[in-house]
Amino acid sequence: MKATLATRIGQGPIVAAAATVFARRGFADTRVEDILAESGIARRTFYKYFSSKEDVLAAVYEFATGELLKAMREVPSPEPLLGVRRGLDLFLDYHVENAALLRVLVEQAILSDSPLAAARRRFRADLVQLIDGAVRASTGETHDPMLYAALVSALEGTSLDLFATDVSAKTVERAKRVMHLLLERVLGPRPS
């Protein structure tokens, strides 16, 4: 059985507890007190590391996006685009086991005044750079980076569409097929 994102967070009990509470209550309804109760830590300890629930949300987001980028970069293959495809699959698979938490992260990150907005911009820039490097290494081709940004936007849009439905393994598999088809149309077919 795969561990949920909340239990895989290795940054301590505060962040893991916050991930659990955000998934259960949503961002707006989560209070620092809820995180304290879930983690079993004292208020003073919380404020030693974080100044607000927004700071903890940012730590959860940084961890989740960092793990995704790490998984994409670590694909042991002579085919760099496999890392891009693997990252797409991992991101969409999060919707099955971590839908509630991922919904909070995605919905908060796309808000321009969100505490996650800057981290989202960095994450998108990292993804664009990673895709660009994979395409150059695989095909030698160069494309306008906005093409890759559009692919990332399509993935975010697909994520939001999944949240509008009952997220299930079946709908996630459908989303994966569609996104892989889009990747093939833009970046070329999967290697056999």
In a domain, 22, yes or no: no
Neighbours of 81 (CB within 10 A): 21
Task: Report the alpha-carbon distance of residue 26 to residue 22 in Å, rounded.
Answer: 5
In a domain, 43, yes or no: no
How far separated are the first and last CA of the chain, in Å rounded?
29
Q: What domain range is 109 assigned to?
A: 54-187
For residue 192, what pLDDT is reported?
A: 57
In a domain, 103, yes or no: yes
What average pLDDT does range 85-112 have in this prediction?
A: 90
Structural domains of the chain, count: 1
pTM of the model: 0.84
In a domain, 102, yes or no: yes
77 phi/psi in degrees, rounded to 5: -150, 150
Task: Report the alpha-carbon distance of residue 28 to residue 25 in Å, rounded.
Answer: 8
What average pLDDT does range 157-164 have in this prediction?
A: 90
Here the CATH number for the domain that contains residue 81 is 1.10.357.10
With 90 as the cut, is the pLDDT of residue 189 above it?
no
What average pLDDT does range 59-66 have in this prediction?
A: 91
In the chain, what percentage of residues exceed pLDDT 70?
91
